């Protein structure tokens, strides 16, 4: 069995979706609401898995192009270029 079996290809996020995702991340910090984020985590040579988490954006690191998503039980730094989808979260 190949270790890469079951891994997805890195998705292509077009410029419009990228801009919308960035807007939602920034907007969530300005208006203090929770978001749900799906991002791609590379495992091997452009292939990987999708992860999803919800929470509040507590910090944006423009130099490293990442943001800190914090929920009641976890926190994770997410690279902007790995984000696939961002939606406003009405419940956790």
Query: Is the residue at 2 inside a domain?
Result: no
Query: Is the residue at 15 inside a domain?
Result: yes
Task: State the residue range of the domain holding 53.
Answer: 8-88
Q: What is the domain-level CATH number for residue 22?
A: 2.30.30.100
In SS3 terms, the chain reads as CCCCCCCEECCCCCHHHHHHHHHHHHHHHHHCCCEEEEEEEEEECCEEEEEEEEEEEEEEECCCCEEEEECCCCEEEEEHHHEEEEEECCCC
pLDDT at 4 over 90: no
pTM here is 0.89
Q: What percent of the chain has a predicted confidence (pLDDT) above 90? A: 88
Residue-wise pLDDT tens digits, 38-83: 999 999 999 999 999 999 999 999 999 999 999 999 999 999 999 9
Query: Is the residue at 3 inside a domain?
Result: no
How confident is the model at residue 2, as a pLDDT? 61
């Amino acid at each position: 069995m190949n270790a890469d079996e079951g891994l997805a290809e890195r998705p292509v996020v077009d410029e419009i979706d990228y801009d919308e995702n960035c807007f939602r991340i920034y907007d969530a910090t300005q208006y203090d609401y929770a978001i749900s984020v799906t991002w791609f985590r590379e495992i091997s040579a452009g292939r990987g898995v999708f992860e999803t988490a919800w929470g509040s954006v507590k910090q944006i690191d423009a130099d490293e192009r990442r943001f800190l998503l914090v929920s009641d039980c976890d926190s994770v730094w997410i690279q902007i270029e790995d984000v696939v989808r961002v939606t406003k979260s009405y419940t956790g």
